[in-house]
Structure 1
Amino acid sequence: MYKTSKETQDRKDAKRQYILDTSAKVFANRGYHNTTVKDIVEEASISVGSFYFYFKGKEELFTELYLNIVKAFQDTAQKVLDIENYNLAKNFTRVISANLWMYQSNRELARIMLIEAVGLNPEFEKKRSDSVRESCRTMEGWFKRFKVHNPVNIPDERIAALAFESSFYYLILDWLEGDEAVKLTDSSYGLSIYNLQALKVTFEDEDIKMYIKEVLDELNRVQNP
């Protein structure tokens, strides 16, 4: 009985994820406001009833999609981070470059999440606000760990986390509103240098360039094995 129940739940989870993955493509192509439930079910080749079995509507689906993307960003940052074995400059540069790479790989969804969906509804805004605060808390925790393993000037980890998140956020907005031909990862060096200098971390320019190339090569290999 347990095995059958688990298999059934696994199928439901896979179907739910399939709808989410399909909706991400539709939203990216059509934008949030121009996408309807009909567009999603047609692209996914499912019935309207099947859609509403998993989601109450487009807004609930979009909110879950947003949270899934946030988690994907967090997972990617964790994969490239190694506080015990890498120095602070390398860890910081790798995390910055990985996050820029993630936005670059999901440009249209990023535009919807950060620009088009602003003020979508109170529930979504709360979820987004919670995710931003969680990101700041995560960064604050990293700064505390950095201080244990590295001589670094961080008198207030929370302020440092907020300043970092702000510089990152406004860089993304500027890129989203600019030339699509410009690679966001081209800003990895400048953003890394800015933050490392703010923290008074010693580094060599050539090392930073090497760290950026290494992590971007790693991520591109994963994306295109």
Structure 2
Amino acid sequence: MTPNIQYLTELESTADTPTMESTQNSEFVVTIAGDREVDAVSAVAGAEQIDATNNEESTTFTKRKRKKTSGVWEYFRLVKLLDGTDLCECIHCGLKIKKFKKGITTPFHRHVGDCPKIKAVNKDSDFKLHKCILNFVDVPPPYSGVCIYDSLFKCLKEWNIETKVTTLTVDNVKTNDVVVRKLMENLNLQKKLVVGGKLFHVWCCAHILNLLVQDCLGEIEDIIHNVRESVKHVNAYPG
């Protein structure tokens, strides 16, 4: 259907036909099918927006890199040679394999299954830590290092694990130094300790941190006491 075009003037004219001046000052309105009015300015702006959208669609976009989901990338890293060639290097043995553009990972899977160093790492990762309490022992006073050592070694003998002990974790008390020394001397006679017992004595990190904190708090002991007393006074005040 052909749209009807009308000129609406701001100034009333006595003549039936609008003058040139009134036409120049008129508002341009397009009436379509007699039921709907569309602002010409909005129509022009919409056309410009469509053109801009078409121009944006015609521009080339950079291709997003595909996320690596294969498990082989846990064992390989990407390296680039001086000539620009992309290779994949095994993290464990250093073997370099050419990277395929289509994302083929079959050679990488084959290497993961054949690499002896990867096999060794996967075999150590099969180790599972089990935690259990074997016994509670009441050690009568005096709490000397010899008494604690006798009680500990007796427990190890009862469970038949005296030759399977790897490390001993204790807090930083001089009495425990005696326990560690005597137990190491006994186990070293059987040559069952790793690297000659150099890793046997493990100091408790939590106890070390506690000692550091207590030492720092000792420097501001008076301030802490005043703050605590102030809080007690405020809490006890009825108001």
Q: TM-score range by the shorter chain?
A: under 0.3
Q: Which has the higher contact order (CA 8 A, sep 6+)?
A: 1
Q: TM-score normalised to the size of structure 2?
A: 0.21
Between Structure 1 and Structure 2, the one with more helix by share is: 1
Between Structure 1 and Structure 2, the one with more strand by share is: 2
